[in-house]
């Protein structure tokens, strides 16, 4: 674990049994977004892809403060 590493936890409602290429693409494309913004975009994208179950996305970026 190091500075700038991004950790993403999703409930199954976000992926809803779908292939995950869209998820990989979004994480690469939006890696510079704030964790809060990225989590929101993941949930919105899942809704747009037709996911209907309850959804939670948690995104954490490690940052060195010293």
pLDDT by 10s per residue, the chain, length 66: 888 889 999 998 888 777 888 889 999 998 889 999 999 999 999 999 888 889 999 999 998 887
Give the per-residue pLDDT at 15: 83
**Percent of the chain, pLDDT > 70?**
100
Neighbours of 57 (CB within 10 A): 20
Question: How high is the pLDDT of residue 18?
Answer: 73
- List, for residues 41-53, the tens digit of each pLDDT value: 999 999 998 888 8
- Pair 51, 19: CB distance under 8 Å: no
Rounded distance, CA 20 to CA 25, Å?
Answer: 9
């Amino acid at each position: 674990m190091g500075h700038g590493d991004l950790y993403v936890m999703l409930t199954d409602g976000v992926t809803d049994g779908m292939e995950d290429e869209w998820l990989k693409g979004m994480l690469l494309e939006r890696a510079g977004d704030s964790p809060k913004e990225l989590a929101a975009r993941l949930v919105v994208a899942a809704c747009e892809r037709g996911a209907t179950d309850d959804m939670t996305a948690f995104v954490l970026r490690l940052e060195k403060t010293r």
